[in-house]
Amino acid sequence: MATVCLSGTLEDKLVAAAGAGFDGIEVFEPDLVASPWSPAELAARCADLGLAIDLYQPFRDLDSTDPATVARNRRRARAKFDVMAALGVDTVLVCSAVAPDAVTDDDELAAQLHAAAELAGERGLRIAYEALAWGTHVSTWDHSWDLVRAADHPALGLCLDSFHVLSRGGDPAGFTAVPGDKLFFLQLADAPQLSMDVLQWSRHHRLFPGQGAFDLPAFLGSVLAAGYAGPLSLEVFNDVFRQSDPARTAVDAMRSLLALEAALPVDPLVLPPAPALTGHAFTELAVDGSSGPVVADVLGRLGFAHTGQHRSKPVQLWEQGSARVLLNAGAARPADGEAAVVALAVESVDPTGSAARAEALLAPVLPRTRGNAEAELSAVAAPDGTQVFFARTGPDGWPADFLPTGETSAGAGLTRTDHVGLTQPFDAYDEAGLFYDSVLGLDAGSGSEVAAPFGLVRSRGVTTPDRGVRLALSVSLLRRGGGWAPGVPDPQHVAFATDDAVGTARALRAAGAPLLAVPANYHDDLDARLDLDPALLADLREHGLLYDADADGAFLHLYTEVLGGRVFFEVVQRLAGYDGYGAVNSPVRMAAHRRARQETRAAAPSTRSR
């Protein structure tokens, strides 16, 4: 991987890359310039860590129409070749020029490339020429190949960069026209599909493979089919990655390469398969003496029954239909008085196989303590710290760890867990999408953005193909509210499905569930926009139900107030083929949660001493 992918000093980057299992690095010249190590010392440190140095980059603006600049560039090239010799690297990346004096005559440009290659060849070095997508004259890979072919020097070849090719709509199928021995280097990067200046897109929004919109398996397959036999290297410019823990980013990067190789159309890397996931087994909330009774009371009002008590741990099992919630009074909590989703379990047809795939994709396997005759559950840590269990629910499965309480409930029409909503740390959002996609085999949706009361919120769903498992991941650019407003920090929620949202809402209100109040303006707007059936609109108003519809179906949902600082529950009904999460209603929900928290704080007795 290129050192530019990671945060920190050059030493931090090397340790992170080696720790994640990378074989080599591209040395990004600014990292070396800022380092106290000499090139020879850097080479020695890389050798100690088992890292090859495969590329030195970038050499910018090699060509020029100004003879004096050409002479200076030849002097600069000789100096950089000395650096390369001390580093022990034989290939330098030369980018197509972006300066105003860049050569625009192809014959002259080929001649200057040939002259530079002659200097490199005399030293036993090679030049990998790359077309920058914003190059002044050369901005496409096929133009760069025309020039390399015209220059006709054994020390001159191509560097293919997936971002530069795909952002310009280049066709990787054309790579087969390039002899394999002319493909000197390959750089891989993904990116979201954005409509913006390509330079800014490249410098700030690149992602690791599998985190964006590019078809990198097809791209890489075309490069390999053309005969490329060099390293698979990552070059990712990303503002978030450049601020995050480099060790964690490097692991995310390695996971992306493993998943990419496993997705190749020909000769893929063989990983343990992702066993089918068939549903949510349970969601576990950490509670304490303050939040625990509050959450338990609300679960009871939602129609859940406390059906089991763990044999050896302070954990309660609450059930309704196939929806299960664990309240764990012994788990670590973020703060006193708070409740938090700390774990979720998914039903796997092969829990051991699910754990094996997770481990192969570098997911941290969590140690578990269990008592005699208790179920053995495999768990891995998601990027936000949530524990993900692979479970099988049945007579001999994890429910056998709970002693029956004998409690029952008539229920309120809730049938199962529809989805779990988890706010991600800002620097883990893209990592989380790749984690759930590659490790669990979930499909990551395209995502959406909502202008919320406290700033922009991005969200996406990750699901199994049959939608038996759904997670809703979200992230906020800034922390909600700051010190001036009682915003909900990093909210989490569990959504339960019903076949009759109106009937369930009626039952919940009768039971005194703390349902979130929805302003009348919302339903007035619904009436104006959608011309709903008057009877349905009346039910929505009476019970505080929210509504969304798309071309495939409709969605009715409601929320509880926030419980224990950040957790709340949702009830949803999906009609026909509706597949979303009612994101259009998120600002209404967020504003209502803020109002409810303000009212709660205003009503609370003051603890200030008098």
| DSSP string of 402-427, one letter each residue | EEE--------SEEEEEEEEEEPPGG
Is residue 606 situated within a structural domain?
no
Is residue 181 located within the same domain as residue 328? no
> For residue 510, what are the CA distances in angstroms to 83, 506, 588, 600?
77, 6, 24, 22
- How many helices and strands (H and E) does the chain possess? 17, 24
Tell me, yes or no, whether 77 lies in a domain.
yes
For the stretch 256-300, pLDDT in tens is: 999 999 999 889 999 999 999 999 999 999 999 999 999 999 999
Question: Do 417 and 479 belong to one domain?
Answer: yes
Residues 161 and 136 in one domain: yes
394 and 349 in a common domain: yes
Residues 180 and 291 in one domain: no
- Judgement on whether residues 166 and 285 belong to the same structural domain of the protein: no
Q: Are residues 82 and 157 in the same domain?
A: yes
Give me the pLDDT at residue 370, please.
64
Residue 270 resides in a domain: no
Model confidence over 181-233: pLDDT tens digits? 999 999 999 999 888 899 999 999 999 999 999 999 999 999 999 999 999 99
Same domain, 86 and 133: yes
- Please check whether residues 461 and 542 belong to one and the same domain: yes
Tell which of 232, 262, 292 closes a domain: 262
Counting Cα atoms < 13 Å in the Cβ hemisphere of 598 gives 10
Residue 179 covered by a domain? yes
pTM for this predicted structure: 0.91
Please check whether residue 563 is in contact with residue 580, taking contact to mean a CB–CB distance below 8 angstroms.
no
Count up the domains in the chain and report the number: 2
Q: What order do you get walking across the sheet with 323-328 strand by strand?
A: 378-381, 387-391, 340-348, 277-286, 323-328, 315-320, 305-310, 402-404
Element (H, E) at 553: strand 553-559
Are the CB atoms for 488 and 590 separated by under 8 Å? yes
* Whether residues 241 and 355 fall in one domain: no
DSSP class of 373: T
CATH code for the domain in which residue 414 is found = 3.10.180.10
What is the pLDDT at residue 445?
81
CA distance linking residue 480 with residue 82, whole number of Å: 52
Distance between CA atoms of residues 550 and 579, nearest Å: 9
Domain boundary among the residues 210, 237, 262 is at 262
| Omega within 30 of 0 (cis) for the link into 58 | yes
Range of the domain at 256: 3-262
In a domain? residue 609: no
Angstrom distance (rounded) from CA 469 to CA 347: 9
Measure the CA–CA gap between 572 and 580, rounded to whole angstroms: 11
Q: Are strands 126-130 and 233-234 parallel, antiparallel or unpaired?
A: unpaired
The verdict on residue 567 lying in a domain is yes
Within a domain: 267: no
Ranges under pLDDT 70 in the chain: 332-336, 369-373, 477-488, 601-610
User: Does one domain contain both 331 and 461?
Assistant: yes
Residue 426 lies in a domain: yes
Whichever domain contains 113, its CATH number is 3.20.20.150
Clarify whether residues 297 and 357 are in a common domain: yes
